[in-house]
Amino acid sequence: MLKTSLLKTIAFFDCFDFPLTAEEIRERLYRYDKPVHIKAVKGILGGMVEEGKLETIKDYYVLKGHTEIINTRNARRFIAEKFWNRVRLYSQYMQRVPFVRMIAVCNNLSYDNVDEASDIDLFVVIEPERMWIARLIITLILQFFGVRRHGNKVAGRFCLSFFVTTRRMDMTILQITPEDPYLAYWAQTLTPIYGEITYELFKAANQSWLKEKYNLTVPDSCKRHLYPSRESLFKRFLEWMLNGHFGNGIETLLKKTFKKKTEAAGKRLDEHASVIIEDDILKFHNHDRRKEYLEKWEKTVAQISAIPSVITEPPETPFPEIQNEE
């Protein structure tokens, strides 16, 4: 039912104190596989307001009693602007790292939902067989400028916890069961800052499971921070120099040196960690909270759904699909 999908969409982002407008809800509508017009969306949302399941203020729709998150979103938007300025500043250095093919912002900042204590999560795509070289150089650059997250130094710093090669951009294997709304919205809202060609390949690699299982598509607005860039001669020179046997030797040495350290560190973490150390993916998350969010989301949906419905839902496809409405 459309009403159920609307509720699930609103409830998921409520887990992160992020209210949505009707247009945003339609764009992120969870697991609803029929065309739907914005008028139908607003009609059912209005009915849910009358039922006491939702409230609406300033075009935002929130769960009953959660209107305070509207002010939270507005406050976080200004903080996000400061963070994006920082991203813009340091991306010019990171994109010059040899063998880096795409850099994207993920998680909360990708949809402007950060507070002063947040970090800046990056997703980096690298040329195969040069993972450890590129990762080390990016780490050194951010460390040199004093903006790399480590230890208790978190706020406003870059978190380098997720690297893949161009051979491993399909995120299907990372899904948790029975469903993984967090990963689905992570992929939908991923915001590239460098590497448009590779980003399009990433979208192509993930569009089938996003569409078939979650009925989500990636909006063009995700490219709003994709800054114009040209490959520098210095980067080309480094890639030429680090190709062949010389580069292979350095990559092998770095892999042997750092893989043991990262594997040892991973073994010290508890069962909530998500650590993957492979040739084509490096993922370091000390606390993977996806199951926690899934349980919280399911509980919220069940509680709201238990409120009696007095509004009859209209036919599900009364309007043709409209992709862009001004």
Condensed to tens digits (0 to 9), the pLDDT of residues 85-125 reads 999 999 999 999 999 999 999 999 999 999 999 999 999 99
Question: Which residue is listed with tokens 């409120």?
Answer: 307
Q: What is the mean pLDDT of the chain?
A: 92
CA dist., res. 228 & res. 96, Å (int) = 13
Q: Which two tokens stand for residue 276?
A: 């993957």
Q: Which CATH architecture has domain 2-66+292-305?
A: Orthogonal Bundle (1.10)
Q: What is the mean pLDDT of residues 126-136?
A: 97
Q: What is the mean pLDDT of residues 271-297?
A: 90
Q: Model pTM greater than 0.75?
A: yes
Burial label, 220 (beta-carbon count in 10 A; 0-12, 13-18, 19+): exposed
- Judge contact between 280 and 128, C-beta under 8 A: yes
- Judge contact between 6 and 41, C-beta under 8 A: yes
> How far apart are the two ends of the chain, measured CA to CA in Å?
27
Instruction: Identify the pLDDT of residue 263.
Output: 83
Q: What is the pLDDT of residues 63-78, one digit of tens each?
A: 999 999 999 999 999 9
- Within 10 A of 110 (CB to CB), how many other CB atoms are there? 23
Q: What is the pLDDT of residues 31-48, one digit of tens each?
A: 999 999 999 999 999 999
- Judge contact between 70 and 48, C-beta under 8 A: no
Domain boundaries, the chain: 2-66+292-305, 80-286
